[in-house]
């Protein structure tokens, strides 16, 4: 926190897990205020205490504060959009109005909390059958190597259903290559397709958009892609 009333600070990419993207950092109050310098490891800011959305609290101690966010980065794919929430970093300058020699700064790291792993009450599973649904490949089977044109049987099912009245809605299913640059819309629930390759070749992945509905809460209707 400088005598010419600027807040100068750096934000390391390693501050959060997964890491921040320094090039996407900006101030919350004024998104045009970006870092003065950006590398793959950190972003360096120089912000006027009375600009860039900074706030001021006056009392026995003068406090200037500004919030820095990691801009939400959206990846648009043919079958949907993937986004990540942005953690907030609060930077403060505190000093006594009558004594400029006590200028200092404090960075409050975002409180993301510990990682939590738990098993839900029920879930949805997309699995591949070996032959007309007589048996199924295990969940963690290695990628299947299939001859082109061979039938592949897939099934979407509801797991650990605590209520037999619940309905599994399968809105759409897609097949796509690793790059995500192409997509093929499939049928739903149980469907058989002949193996194929996209123009880019490589592995093919399957994904379904599902919803678990309770008839007691309203009409259960499957939608369109």
Cβ count within 10 A of residue 87? 15
Under DSSP, the state recorded for 117 is -
Instruction: Provide mean pLDDT across the span 81-90.
Output: 65
125-147 pLDDT, tens per residue?
A: 888 888 878 888 887 777 888 88
| Residue 107: closest CA among 65, 70, 50 | 65
Residue-averaged pLDDT of the chain: 77
Which residues have a Cβ under 8 Å from the Cβ of 2 and sit 6 or more positions away? 8, 103
Place of tokens 């996407």: 24
Place of tokens 């879930």: 123
Reduced to 3 states (helix: H, G, I; strand: E, B; else coil), residue 221 is coil
Which backbone phi and psi does 129 adopt, to 5 degrees?
-90, 155
188-210 pLDDT, tens per residue?
A: 677 777 777 766 667 888 888 88
The pLDDT value recorded for residue 225 is 44
Place of tokens 């900074």: 54
Helices vs. strands in the chain: H and E counts, helices first: 0, 16
In the chain the domains, ranked by start, together with CATH numbers, are 6-108 (2.60.40.3210), 123-217 (2.60.40.4100)
97-122 pLDDT, tens per residue?
A: 666 544 455 555 555 556 666 666 77
Q: Read off the tokens for 217.
A: 């809460």
Q: Read off the tokens for 197.
A: 């390759």
The pLDDT value recorded for residue 193 is 77
The pTM of this model reads 0.44
């Amino acid at each position: 926190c400088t005598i010419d009333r600027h807040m100068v600070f750096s934000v390391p990419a390693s501050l959060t897990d997964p890491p921040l993207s320094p090039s996407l950092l900006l101030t919350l109050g004024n998104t045009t205020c970006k870092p003065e310098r950006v590398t793959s490891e950190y972003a360096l800011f120089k912000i006027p205490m009375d600009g860039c959305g900074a706030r001021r609290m006056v009392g026995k101690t003068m406090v200037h504060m500004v919030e820095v966010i990691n801009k939400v980065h959206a990846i648009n794919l043919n079958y949907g959009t993937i986004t990540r929430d942005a953690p907030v970093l609060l930077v403060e300058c505190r000093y006594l109005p009558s004594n400029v020699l006590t200028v200092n700064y404090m960075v409050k790291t975002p409180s993301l909390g510990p990682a939590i792993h738990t098993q839900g009450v029920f879930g949805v599973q997309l699995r591949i059958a070996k032959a007309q649904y007589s048996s199924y490949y295990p969940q963690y089977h290695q990628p299947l190597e299939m001859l082109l044109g061979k039938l592949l049987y897939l099934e979407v099912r509801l797991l650990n259903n605590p209520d037999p009245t619940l309905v599994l809605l399968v809105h759409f299913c897609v097949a796509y290559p690793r790059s995500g640059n192409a997509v093929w819309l499939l049928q739903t629930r149980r469907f058989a397709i002949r193996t194929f390759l996209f123009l880019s070749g490589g592995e093919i992945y399957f994904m379904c958009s599902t919803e678990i509905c309770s008839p007691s809460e309203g009409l259960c209707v499957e939608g369109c892609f």
